[in-house]
Amino acid sequence: MRETERKSERNGASERMRATESMKATESIRPPDRMRASVAICTHNRASDVREALLSLAPQRFGDSFEVIVVDNGSTDQTAQTVQEFGRTASFPVHYVYEGRLGLSVARNRAIREAKGEFILFLDDDAVASPDWIGGIVSVFDKDPKIGCVGGRIEPAWEGEAPDWLPEENRSLYTILDYSAEVREMRDSAMPYGANVAFRRSIFDSMAMFREDLGRVGSNLLSSEESELIERIRGKYSVYYTPHASVLHKIPRSRMNRKWLLRRIYWQGVSRAVSSRSKARVLAESLLKVPAFVLLSIPVLYDKRRVFRNVRRIVYNNGLISGVLRTYQ
C-alpha cells in the first residue's frame, strides 16, 4: 500500500513538472512590449472551476497584452492538466505555478512575485469574468497613477434559488458586491472583495504583500487579509470601484444554509480579532457583550428572525474571543 502511495505521489509530481515545462513554452509568445496586466487565479482542488474561469478569459475585449498565472496551491486533482490543456490553445501567455505551502495569502503572494504586468488582477477560481473585465479594471487605473487598488462588481450565481431567509446585512459574507452604478472612490470602511480585486504592481516595491497569518488555509474560513492590505494601501493610494468590470461568483448549495452562514460569521469574528492591533480591548468588549446578547434574546423567543439575529451576534462575538485567544497559543 505504501509503495503504491509513493508511486502515486511521484507520478503526481512528474505531471506537475511536465505541466510547468509545457507552460514555459507559452512564454515564448510573450509580446516584446510591456505587459499591461497579469490575471492571477489561486486554486486548491477545483480543476473544473478553474477551467471555467480560464475559459471566461478567452473572449476578453482587451486590446493590450496580458498574461494569466494559475497558482496551484497543493492540489491533488487534475488542475495541472487542466491548465496545461488550456494553455496550448490560448492566445495569451498562461503560466502554471505550483505552490506547495498551503494558504490563500501564500498563493496570492506567490502570484504577485510571479507577475510581470503593470496591474495584477485577482479572479477567484470559482468566478467567471465578463468580457470587459480586464479592460474595465485597467481603464480605472489609467485615470490616475495614485489609484493603487480597484475592485469590481460581483454578482452571485446561486446553485438554485437564492435563500429567502438570508438577511440583507449578511449578503456580503457570500462575496456579493454592488457598491455603485458608476466608477467611484471607495472611502472609509468600504472595501472591494478578493473575488474581483486588482492592484498596481509597483505598490509592492515599497509595501508588504498579504499577511500570511490571515486568509484561508484548508477548510477554515479565516479572512481579513484583503481588508488589512487595502487599509494599508489607503495610507498612500486611493481605492476605486467600477461596475463595468463584473464577475459571476458561484455559490454552491452546500453554503446556502444557516449552519454555513453561522460558521462564516464565527470565522469573520476570528479574523477581525487576529488582524486587530488592540487585542486586549477586543477581548474586554467581547466578554462584556456575552450576557447582554443572551438577555436580549429572551424577550423575542417567539420571533425567529430576531432570535437568529441575536444568535449571529453571539457567534460573531465568540469568534472575536477565540481569535484573541488563538494569538496567545
pLDDT tens-digit readout, 121-155: 999 999 999 999 999 999 999 999 999 999 999 99
CA separation for the pair 192, 186 (Å, rounded) = 8
Query: With contact defined as beta carbons under 8 Å apart, do 227 and 261 qualify?
Result: no
Instruction: Judge if 120 and 212 occupy the same domain.
Output: yes
Last residue within a domain, chosen from 234, 255, 276 = 255
Mean pLDDT across the stretch 67-95?
96
Last residue within a domain, chosen from 199, 220, 255 = 255
Instruction: Look at 50 and 21; give whichever has higher pLDDT.
Output: 50
Instruction: Judge if 102 and 130 occupy the same domain.
Output: yes
Instruction: Judge if 104 and 135 occupy the same domain.
Output: yes
Q: Return the number of other C-beta atoms located less than 10 Å from residue 213's C-beta.
A: 14
pLDDT of the residue at 108: 96
pTM: 0.80
What mean pLDDT value characterizes the chain? 83
Mean pLDDT across the stretch 258-273?
82
CA separation for the pair 92, 39 (Å, rounded) = 11
pLDDT of the residue at 32: 41
Which 3 state secondary structure label does DSSP give 244?
Answer: strand
Flag whether pLDDT at 245 surpasses 80: yes
Query: With contact defined as beta carbons under 8 Å apart, do 70 and 99 qualify?
Result: no
Flag whether pLDDT at 2 surpasses 50: no
Confidence at 313, pLDDT banded by 50, 70, 90: confident
Instruction: Look at 310 and 13; give whichever has higher pLDDT.
Output: 310
How many domains does the chain contain in total? 2
CA separation for the pair 266, 276 (Å, rounded) = 16
Instruction: Judge if 75 and 11 occupy the same domain.
Output: yes
Instruction: Judge if 70 and 123 occupy the same domain.
Output: yes
Q: Which among 253, 328, 324 has a CA at the least distance from the CA of 285? A: 324
CA separation for the pair 54, 96 (Å, rounded) = 12
Confidence at 318, pLDDT banded by 50, 70, 90: confident
Per-residue CA distances from 193 to 62, 121, 196, 216, 246 (Å): 22, 12, 6, 14, 12
pLDDT of the residue at 23: 45
Question: Which range marks the domain in which residue 305 is found?
Answer: 258-326
Instruction: Judge if 267 and 234 occupy the same domain.
Output: no
Instruction: Judge if 182 and 289 occupy the same domain.
Output: no
202-212 pLDDT per residue, tens: 999 999 999 98
Locate 130 and state its grid cell.
465578463
